[in-house]
Every structure is written in structure tokens, then in C-alpha cells.
Amino acid sequence: MASLWLFIKAVVHHWGVLVTGVGLSLVFGGVEHYRQESLSWKAYCLILAATVFAACFVAWKEQHNITIEKETELGDLRKQLASPEFVVTIGMLANGVIGSRIMVFLTAQISNPHGPQSALFGWEIRLELANGELINQSSPLTPDQNGVNVNIGDTGKAIRLSPDSFFPVFTQPIPPGGFINGWFWGAFENLAQEELYRGGTSAILVFKDAVSQKEHIFRTDFREQGTNWPGVTDTDWIPESALKSPQRVSNDR
């Protein structure tokens, strides 16, 4: 009933515009001038009926366009809800050398603002060098029960990356509005550490969601030769001279 009332109001509005407009007056005047006599009542009724039909058509077309627009918005919303879009905030980005490999570590918060709920899998770190070359990590690494300790030079402080917050161990779906905090790492062969700081080199965190199987890609740039460790210093920035290479507690294999 409400929709019918809105339609009637739209028809009345458009009909009023038509019958009070200059165009209709010119039509009446032109016809009467051509015939040299006044229009009959029947002719007036036919013209007014035509204006009512035109007003109905314009009102229908207007509502039809609104409906199409709403359906498009609804379809976009359904697609969005059918495939979760995650928000990733990168925290720490660090690197070091273990054996012959360059190790890249990052911490992040991953949130699922709109849903649907979904678990994550297929974790990777990739590097994109300043020249555009894309480097994939070597075989996946799993931390041992002690996790990973990152010693910070002469500050007397260290960061411990717990195995409980290693991203691949989060197997439960992230609900709408929920988030997880964790870390991931990657090992890279045949790469000079200096390549990371030539300007324009990015670390890329990659994972998939179980609902859509879509690959999600988030990147962060290596800054000047140093490491971003939020909460460790007042400036959250440790120069290279104050760093030691990150070390695993267990022997590297």
C-alpha cells in the first residue's frame, strides 16, 4: 500500500508539471489557432488522458530506475558478503640472516570487518625488488615450541615471536567484526641483504580465505636500513647499527 501511494504521488506530481507547463499550453493554442476554433470537450479529455498516461510512464520509469539502482547496490553487497574482504595492519617488519638464507619476519593484525566468517590458509611472504622482480620464499618454515627470539642490539631487549601466534596455527574462522594478531616469516635463497634497502623493495603478505578461495595480497615497503619495531623504542625505529640478526632458538635446519 505504501508503494502504491508513493506511485500515485509521483503520477500526480508529473501530471501537474505536464498540464501546467508551457508546452501543453502551446499545444492547445497551436491546435486552436490551426483549426480557427476552440477544442471540443472530447479533445480536451483525450489530451488530458494522454498527459495522465505520460505522467504514469514517467513515474514508472523513475521508480524502475531507482529499483535497478537498488538491485545493483544489493548485488554488490551480496558479492561483498559472499567473499570476505580483510583489513591488514602491518606491525613489525624485520630481516636477518640465518645460515645462507635471508629471513623476513612481519607481525600484523588481520580483521574481518564485514564477514562472512572465514578461516585463512595458504600463507606466504613474497618480495618484490626495486627492479620489479618478484621472489617467492623457499620451503615453508614452522617454528619450534620455543618460537623465535629477536635480540635488539645493545638495548638489552628482545622480541619473542610465540609459536601460538604463528598465523598458520589459527585454524578457527575469523567472525564478522573479529580479528587475529600474529606473525609470519619467510626464507629467501640467493638474495643479498642489501637488495632489501635499495629503495622500492616491498614485503608482500599473501593468504587465502576458505570461503571464496580468493588470494589476498598486502604489501609493505622496506624503509631505510633499519627495522620497524613498534613499542620497543620511543621512536619505534631501530637503526641497523643497533640490530643483531634474528635468531631461532633451535638449530637452523
Lowest average pLDDT, out of 2-6, 14-18, 100-104, goes to 14-18
Residues 6+ apart with CB under 8 A from 13: 55, 59
Domain coordinates of the chain in residue numbers? 2-82, 87-248
Q: Class for domain 87-248, per CATH? A: mainly beta
Distance from the Cα of residue 253 to its chain's centroid: 38
Please say if the pLDDT value at position 197 is more than 90: no
Residues 6+ apart with CB under 8 A from 99: 252
Q: Per-residue pLDDT tens for 62-84?
A: 777 877 888 777 766 666 667 89
Residues 6+ apart with CB under 8 A from 179: 109, 110, 111, 112
Q: Is 211 exposed, middle or buried (0-12, 13-18, 19+ CB in 10 A)?
A: middle
Q: What mean pLDDT do residues 204-226 have?
A: 85
